[in-house]
Amino acid sequence: MGLSRRLPDPLQVRLLRLLRDEGPLSRAELGDRLETARTRLLAEIDRLAAVELLVEAGPAVSRGGRRSTLVELNPRLRFAGVDLGATSIDVEIVDARMEPVAAFSEPADIRTGPRPILQRVNELLQKGGGRLDAIGIGVPGPVSFRDGVPVSPPIMPGWDRFPVRELLSREHGCPAVVDNDVNIMAIGERHGGVAHSVDDFLFVKIGTGVGCGIHLGGRVYRGSDGCAGDIGHIQVDPSGPVCSCGNIGCLEAVFGGAALAAQALEAAQSGASPALAEQLTAAGTLTAHDVAVRAAEGDVASIQLIREGGRRLGSVLASLVSFANPSMIVIGGGLAQLGHILLAEIRSVVYRRSLPLATGNLPIVLSELDSRAGVAGAAVLASELTFEQVL
């Protein structure tokens, strides 16, 4: 059998993950943690040291018997995480332990198209300095994970099937991986956030629209066409407003950044909210952020808008809880700032509507990593790529 047909070695991947997440360990500790025979483990360590993924890291504390030295991931490993939003580029370069060594964040309009946007991504990655071992990138639309390309992404004109992975990989001479933005946020939250070590959870992103990252059995579930989690177009109101997708009463048409801004405008113009009317006069425009600020200040109409949105989102999540029986729901994205009014409403609906068995132990919590979730997850995905590709 040729090396080219070798499948990813579960021991290899488990060993590298353990060192990434826990830092230097002795060979004895590794043997215990990985439940692996000593000879096989030592051979594996030698093999990974030979390709410079592992290095010795000084003597371990003695447990009696032979002295042991610590093993760690090569501290010179560098992974890049890129999070493309509708209106932003976020980049983080991390070391072998997933600690940031450089970070950049700037506005950018995804509709400018793939060449100028990826050109800028390349510049930021080069600003980070030094050679990269792998790149992970998330984009705000459906992705063919296998092909490394966006697929008919509604808000990304010009990106359909653009070879994002190939371009990044060629430019930086390292492997790259492309995923949906919500999926990388879920990965980030599971690795270093509130969903740490949780196998089955939903990450609900509330931004301009609404999306859901699905983590099942310890892995991201992407669906048969890569568009799993597209919950923004679930119908919540058959007599509701027309959605941008052409259907009636989708979740996104009644809740999310765009819907809230439209509802705020209506509340300001109808006189329902003098506070929002004042803001509109002052700024000439209203955003979902304004609703959050006014609600925090006690504006009744703004609180009502958030509650109503929470009720709509909650009813969708209640259905998904009955279906998927997750052990946690994480709420993230720019509008997670709507905070506790939103969370209280979502909880109330989900706990009332879903089965007792499914909600008996179901925390519904805010994202911990917040705006870093995307880049952190993309970098973790990049490291996994390296761990699986070693021969």
From the list 115-123, 218-226, 257-265, 274-282, the region that binds its own copies by CB under 8 A is 218-226
Touching its own copies, residues 142-161 (CB under 8 A): 142, 151-152
Measured CA to CA, the distance from residue 228 to residue 274 in angstroms comes to 41
Evaluate whether 68 touches 27 at the Cβ level (below 8 Å).
Answer: yes
Nearest to 42 by CA among 54, 60, 57, 58: 54
Burial class (CB in 10 A: 0-12, 13-18, 19+), 13: middle
Minimum CB–partner distance for residue 223 and its own copies (Å): 3
Q: b or e along 227-248 (b: 16 or more beta carbons within 10 Å of the residue's beta carbon)?
A: bbbbbbbbebeeebeebeeeee
- Give me the least distance between CB of 339 and its own copies, in Å please: 25
User: Is residue 322 within the footprint of its own copies (CB under 8 A)?
Assistant: yes
- In 3D space, the residue among 208, 201, 200, 177 whose CA is nearest the CA of residue 367 turns out to be 201
**Amino acid identity of 307?**
R
Considering only residues 70, 167, 231, 342, which one is a binding residue for its own copies as defined by CB under 8 A?
231
Q: Of the candidates 242, 245, 283, 300, which one interacts with its own copies according to CB under 8 A? A: 245
Residue whose CB is less far from its own copies, 222 or 372? 222
Residues between 182 and 211 that touch its own copies (CB under 8 A):
199-200
Query: Which of 223, 271, 274, 363 is in the footprint of its own copies by CB under 8 A?
Result: 223
Query: How many Å apart are CA 316 and CA 320, to the nearest integer?
Result: 6
227 touches its own copies by CB under 8 A: yes
Q: Is 3 in the site for its own copies (CB under 8 A)?
A: no
Give the integer Cα–Cα distance in Å for 221 and 237.
27
Q: Considering just the CA atoms, what is the radius of gyration of the chain in Å?
A: 23
Virtual torsion, Cα 18, 19, 21, 22, nearest 10 deg:
100
Is 365 a binding residue for its own copies by CB under 8 A? The answer is no
Whichever of 115 and 219 has its CB closer to its own copies, that residue is: 219
CB of 204 to its own copies, least distance (A): 11
Q: What letter would DSSP give residue 145? A: T
Counting DSSP H helices and E strands in the chain, the numbers are: 14, 15
Rounded Cα gap, residues 72 and 22, in angstroms: 9
Q: How far is the CB of 28 from its own copies (least distance, A)?
A: 14
The only residue of 58, 107, 360, 391 in contact with its own copies, by rule CB under 8 A: 360
Stretch that binds its own copies, among 67-75, 272-280, 283-291, 312-320 (CB under 8 A): 312-320
Tokens of 39: 């000879």
Site for its own copies in 21-50 (CB under 8 A): 35-37
For position 230 contacting its own copies by CB under 8 A, the verdict is yes
139 part of the interface to its own copies, by CB under 8 A: no
- Tokens 């989708």 — which residue? 250
Give contact residues for its own copies (rule: CB under 8 A): 1, 5, 35-37, 142, 151-152, 199-200, 212, 214, 216-217, 219, 221-231, 233-235, 245, 247, 315-316, 318-320, 322-327, 352-358, 360-361
